[in-house]
Amino acid sequence: MDCGLDGRVYVVSGGSSGLGLATARELVTEGAKVVLCGRDENRLEEAVASLAAGDRVLAMPGDLADPSTSGRLVASAHARFGRLDGALVSVGGPPAARAFEASDEQWRSAFESVFLGALRLTTAVARSAGFEGASVVLVLSTSARQPITGLGISNGLRPGLAMVAKELADELGPSGVRVNALLPGRFDTDRVREIEEATGDPTAARQAFEEGVPLRRVGMPEEFAKVATFLLSPAASYVTGTAVAVDGGLTRSP
């Protein structure tokens, strides 16, 4: 299916690795141009090189917890490519902590990056698009629907951001701007492999997790990327205000 992405321009935050990088790769493959954002400049440059897309990818180091980052990303997209059609808003998850034990500082820091950072970029992109057909996809977590043991901060912030995304879809819909959310389960990324290694028996850790997934496996980043690319594209022009779980059936709620 032709998603109609040729020549369109998207910001991808959290784009130096994992699901963000996989989505950037899919967007480029479909003909789009990408402003790739990440906190680690070296990893970001490596990610851009791996895409092998020449001048269709612009690297912009930045942290969404910094209030100035969103504006810089939007301005860079317009300066380099002359337009902006949307964004994949991905922010690294907060540190693992039980809600009962998390400190005030952990909550504040996570709120600045996970919640406010994502909200700033979403609204900045929506304000700058200036025409119908713009699309923003927020990468959240299955914790937006059901809590994940040991991730109390994520369990607190992700559901609120999912509701804000829903309200933004209501507010921006009349102008033709779509806002959706994706709720990824566990994927075969560097971060997940690090978590598995930390258990001392990564093979057993993965097998134990997969037993609770109806498809009996973790996802591959490119599987997430295809769903994200569809939602960002004109092919999903009548889809807004929804949260789509991409988790192999792990989430038990509808």
* Burial class for 158, CB neighbours closer than 10 Å (0-12, 13-18, 19+): buried
Please enumerate in sequence order all residues whose Cβ is within 8 A of that of 12, keeping only pairs 6 or more positions apart, or say none. 20, 23, 24, 27, 34, 35, 36, 37, 87, 88, 90
* Burial class for 47, CB neighbours closer than 10 Å (0-12, 13-18, 19+): buried
Q: What pLDDT is attached to residue 198?
A: 76
Q: What pLDDT is attached to residue 48?
A: 94
Q: What pLDDT is attached to residue 131?
A: 60
Q: What pLDDT is attached to residue 68?
A: 96
Q: In one letter, which amino acid is 91?
A: V
Q: What pLDDT is attached to residue 80?
A: 96
Task: Return the CATH superfamily for domain 9-246.
Answer: NAD(P)-binding Rossmann-like Domain (3.40.50.720)
- Residue 153 CA to residue 166 CA, distance in Å, equals 21
* Burial class for 42, CB neighbours closer than 10 Å (0-12, 13-18, 19+): exposed
Q: Where are the beta strands (DSSP E) in 161-228?
A: 178-184
Q: What pLDDT is attached to residue 231?
A: 98
For the chain, report the end-to-end CA distance as a whole number of angstroms.
27
Question: What does residue 183 show for φ and ψ, rounded to 5 degrees?
Answer: -115, 85
Token duo for residue 209: 């997790």
Q: What pLDDT is attached to residue 2?
A: 84
Q: What pLDDT is attached to residue 207?
A: 93
- The answer to whether the beta carbons of residues 219 and 188 sit under 8 Å apart is yes
pLDDT (tens, 9 = 90+) of the chain, 254 residues, equals 789 999 999 999 999 999 999 999 999 999 999 999 999 999 999 999 999 889 999 999 999 999 999 999 999 999 999 999 999 999 877 778 888 899 999 999 989 989 999 999 999 999 987 666 799 999 998 988 888 888 899 889 999 999 999 999 999 999 999 999 999 999 998 878 887 887 899 999 899 989 999 999 999 999 999 999 999 999 999 999 999 999 999 998 77
- Residue 23 CA to residue 18 CA, distance in Å, equals 9
